[in-house]
Amino acid sequence: MTDKPLIRNEVINSIFTQSGLQDNGFTLSKLGIYKKQEDYLFGLSFGTAISANRVEGTNILQVRAYVKNSGFRQFQQEKLKLSYLEGIIGTGLIDNLFKQGPPYIRYDVGIERTQIIHQSKLIISSVQKYVFRFFELSSNFEQLLQNIHLPCFLPIERKLEYLLFLDRVEEIEEMLNSLIKYYGKELELKIIEYSYKMRQTTNLDEVLKETYGDMIKVMAGKIAKRMIELNIDTAYNV
């Protein structure tokens, strides 16, 4: 019987040694590939698909990048009482960091040598093309604000918490302006609408039900709700 986990580990090792991660100070462990730098943790985690892998010859490898901040985690867990959060600034499948799915890209590294080599090269290319750029954006506040619309930085309510943690509340409007510029005027109008409705009730989730089924409405509703919960006032919700 082919040892599929062994093949996936071989691919992971190739990613580590051939993508530039090892050369840039990253560490390979059983938990993935990571690098600690001051309060930041940059990393790649790896998963699979048990059901799909029952098919002969199929060997799925899922590759996800993430950036965490230990101070932000402490703020979320202790100050905001969100014990389930881990201080994540950004995360996503490596080919979906900058491009929203579907499709959500996973890799079938297979069991044949030709396919293993081909898929390994594809993953290494995506790490070099997307992951290093993602790490840079996540650890640079000004660049993060300019690119806040990217899928890797969703959900936006976590970024509201991040700016609160950084004591940069005055720049929340800049963040919202960036989102509105990308998603359009409807997002602005919906933030204003839902903020007004939520201020008229104690049941914020009831208003949130109005947003279901529409991406712009959902985003606007979650932004409005989180700003009220965090006592954040902007031109969009006063």
Evaluate if residue 238 carries a pLDDT over 80: no
Three-state secondary-structure class, residue 94: helix
- 24 touches 31 (CB < 8 A): no
**59-76: average pLDDT:** 97
DSSP letters spanning 102-144: SSPP-EE--SSHHHHHHHHHHHHHHIIIIIHHHHHHHT-HHHH
DSSP letters spanning 167-216: T-GGGHHHHHHHHHHHH-HHHHHHHHHHHHHHHT-S-HHHHHGGGTT-HH
**Tokens found for residue 134:** 């993602």
Q: What is the pLDDT of residue 1?
A: 47
pLDDT digits (tens, 9 = 90+) for 101-155: 999 999 999 999 999 999 999 999 999 999 999 999 999 999 999 999 999 998 8
Evaluate if residue 41 carries a pLDDT over 90: yes
pLDDT digits (tens, 9 = 90+) for 2-38: 899 999 999 999 999 999 999 999 999 999 999 999 9
pLDDT band at 75 (very low <50, low <70, confident <90, very high): very high
**63-73: average pLDDT:** 97
% of residues, the chain, pLDDT over 70: 99
Q: What is the pLDDT of residue 237?
A: 79
pLDDT band at 73 (very low <50, low <70, confident <90, very high): very high
CA angle 133, 144, 217 (to 5 degrees): 115
% of residues, the chain, pLDDT over 90: 91
Q: What is the pLDDT of residue 133?
A: 98
- What is this structure's pTM? 0.92
- 191 touches 237 (CB < 8 A): yes
